[in-house]
Structure formats: structure tokens, C-alpha cells
């Protein structure tokens, strides 16, 4: 059983929803982002979604775009991101880590080399938003063969005709994007999200977590109430961008986690 499977199984056994937290590796610098990452499990984070900075992040709104720019200006790379995971694993062998990013840095490094280093570092899953199911042979199938989950996004525009293709070869969990648009663009509404989550869950046994547009503990609770968990990214990245110390950022994360767990 993978770390992701084990985590969701333990949460289901405890009748508890998942809280997934995103941060951009290397924002604003390697040391501070690693300090926040290292403190996330104690703050209640069940799964860490670690962003890999990229110059052309098509799915990300201004908040995460700027985080990626800061990280790149600070010298963050895909290989340095893998090094962060290696360091994290020295003290934590249980918390699942999902890399979120785009295919270009992986392609540039080389798929085989990337997957070998990702397995060695302790990566559990990948979200690569610019690789649709039609391109599964590029990375998805090799990742699955290497023991790394490939997590797919479903959106409000993923209709019943498209959904089976999206779910094919998806593993770990399904990430449902609550809004049409980029990260941080609008607020998620449980009343709108619930029916689509139910439709996806009827088509798969995988957990379905919801992200985009969740900025408060209250919204995290509402969204987790209609799904298997909630993901928060831009709101956390905004706290980091404001220059708050790590302990204050982690206090904010803890409040979000408590909201999701209260569902």
C-alpha cells in the first residue's frame, strides 16, 4: 500500500476528511519553504502538495505565479525540489508528498532519470496539469510502473463522456477543481461542488478531494463536507508572500486543517 493509499485508508477508518496543503518549493527561498514544509504535518496536514516552479504556469493565478517567480529567482530547480523531499524524509517517512507542476522541467531532466530520483527522494504522487490522458505514455504509465501515483484533475467542464478517460490510469486520488478558471480566482461553493463530486465518486473508488477557491477554515469545512478532503494553496502562499514568520504561517495552516477535519 502506498503512503497515499495508507493515509486515506487511515482517515476513512477514523471517519475524518483529508486536508491537503500546497506550497511552492523555494518560495521565498529554500530554507524558509523547507521550514514551513517540515512543520506542516504537526499543523494537521495530511498530504503535502509541493509545487515545482515553472516559467509558464498555465493553471495558476497571480499568487502562485509570483511564488514561482520568486522561487526561480532564488535558484530553485526541479532537482533542488527533490532534494527538499530527501531532507524532509530524514525525519518523516509517513506523510505523502505529491509534486505539482508542468511537464517541461521533467522532460528536460529526462523521464527515466526524473522517476528514478523521485522514487529515491520519496515522492508519492504527481500532478502534471499539461499532460492530458491522451499523453499517458509520456509520463503517467512510466510513473505508475515506478510506483508513483498519477493524480488527475477533473473540472466542472469534465462531462460524463470525458470523465472515464480522465479516470483511466488515475491513482491515489482525484483532484476536483471547484471552479472554471485559475487558482485563487473565485470562492468555492459546496452547493455547486457537491453534485459533481458525487458524480465522480459514482464512477471511481478513489477518494475525491476538492481544491481552488478555498481560503478559510469555514470554507474548508464546507467543501470537505461534500468530498473526501479539501486542498488549500493560494491562501497559504499569500501568507508566505506577506513575509510572516514560519510559525504564523503554520498557525494559519493549522486553522485550515482543523476546518477540514471538522467536516
CATH code at position 116: 3.20.20.70
Average pLDDT, the chain: 95
Report whether pLDDT(187) > 80.
no
Give pTM, 2 decimals. 0.96
* pLDDT, tens digit (0-9, with 9 covering 90-100), for 119-165: 999 999 999 999 999 999 999 999 999 999 999 999 999 999 999 99
Exactly one of 5, 27, 56, 60 is catalytic; name it: 60
Between CA 132 and CA 243 the distance in angstroms is: 36
The closest alpha carbon to 85, from 42, 54, 114, 128, belongs to 114
Report whether pLDDT(104) > 60.
yes
Exactly one of 49, 117, 149, 196 is catalytic; name it: 49
Report whether pLDDT(184) > 60.
no
**pLDDT for res 188:** 72
**pLDDT for res 66:** 96
Q: Among residues of the chain, what percentage have pLDDT more than 90? A: 90
How many folded domains does the chain comprise?
Answer: 1
Between CA 111 and CA 87 the distance in angstroms is: 22
**pLDDT for res 178:** 87
Q: Is 49 a catalytic residue?
A: yes
**pLDDT for res 181:** 54
Domain membership of residue 118 as a residue range? 3-261
Residue 27's CB is within 10 A of a number of other CB atoms, namely 26
With left for phi above 0 and alpha for psi between -120 and 50, is residue 181 left, alpha or beta?
A: left
**pLDDT for res 42:** 98
**pLDDT for res 58:** 80
Taking residues 234-248, report their average pLDDT: 97
Report whether pLDDT(183) > 70.
no
Q: Is 117 a catalytic residue?
A: no
* pLDDT, tens digit (0-9, with 9 covering 90-100), for 17-57: 999 999 999 999 999 999 999 999 999 999 999 999 999 88
Say if residues 197 and 208 touch (Cβ distance below 8 Å): yes
Selected residue with higher pLDDT from 63 and 181: 63
**pLDDT for res 47:** 98
**pLDDT for res 60:** 85
Residue with cell 495552516: 253
**pLDDT for res 126:** 98
Between CA 232 and CA 220 the distance in angstroms is: 8
Three-state SS string over the chain comes to CCHHHHHHHHHHHCCCCEEEEEEECCCCCHHHHHHHHHHCHHHCCCEEEEECCCCCCCCCCHHHHHHHHHHHHCCCCHHHHHHHHHHHHCCCCCCCEEEEECHHHHHHHCHHHHHHHHHHHCCCEEEECCCCHHHCCCCHHHHHHHCCEECCEECCCCCCCCHHHHHCCCCCCEEEECCCCCCCCCCCCHHHHHHHHHHHHCCCCCCEEEECCCCCHHHHHHHHCCCCEEEECHHHHHHHHCCCCHHHHHHHHHHHHHHHHCC
Amino acid at each position: 500500500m502506498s503512503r497515499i493509499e495508507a493515509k486515506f485508508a487511515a482517515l476513512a477508518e477514523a471517519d475524518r476528511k483529508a486536508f491537503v496543503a500546497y506550497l511552492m518549493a523555494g518560495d521565498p527561498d529554500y530554507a524558509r519553504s523547507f521550514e514551513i514544509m517540515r512543520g506542516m504535518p504537526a499543523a494537521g496536514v495530511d498530504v503535502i502538495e509541493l509545487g515545482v516552479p515553472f516559467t509558464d504556469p498555465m493553471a495558476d493565478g497571480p499568487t502562485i505565479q509570483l511564488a514561482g517567480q520568486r522561487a526561480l529567482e532564488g535558484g530553485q530547480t526541479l532537482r533542488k525540489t527533490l532534494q527538499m523531499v530527501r531532507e524532509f524524509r530524514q525525519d518523516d517517512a509517513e506523510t505523502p508528498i505529491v509534486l505539482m507542476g508542468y511537464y517541461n522541467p521533467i522532460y528536460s531532466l529526462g523521464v527515466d532519470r526524473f522517476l528514478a530520483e523521485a522514487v529515491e527522494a520519496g515522492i508519492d504522487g504527481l500532478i502534471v496539469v499539461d499532460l492530458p490522458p491522451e499523453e499517458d505514455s509520456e509520463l503517467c504509465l512510466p510513473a505508475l510502473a515506478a510506483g508513483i501515483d498519477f493524480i488527475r484533475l477533473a473540472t466542472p467542464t469534465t462531462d460524463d463522456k470525458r470523465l472515464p478517460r480522465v479516470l483511466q490510469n488515475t491513482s491515489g486520488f482525484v483532484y476536483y477543481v471547484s471552479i472554471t478558471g485559475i487558482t485563487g480566482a473565485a470562492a468555492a461553493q459546496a452547493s455547486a461542488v457537491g453534485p459533481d463530486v458525487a458524480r465522480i465518486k459514482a464512477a471511481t473508488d478513489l477518494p475525491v478531494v476538492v481544491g481552488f477557491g478555498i481560503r478559510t477554515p469555514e470554507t474548508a469545512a464546507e467543501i470537505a463536507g461534500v468530498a473526501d478532503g479539501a486542498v488549500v494553496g493560494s491562501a497559504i502562499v499569500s501568507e508566505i508572500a506577506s513575509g510572516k514568520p514560519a510559525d504564523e504561517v503554520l498557525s494559519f495552516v493549522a486553522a485550515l486543517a482543523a476546518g477540514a477535519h471538522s467536516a
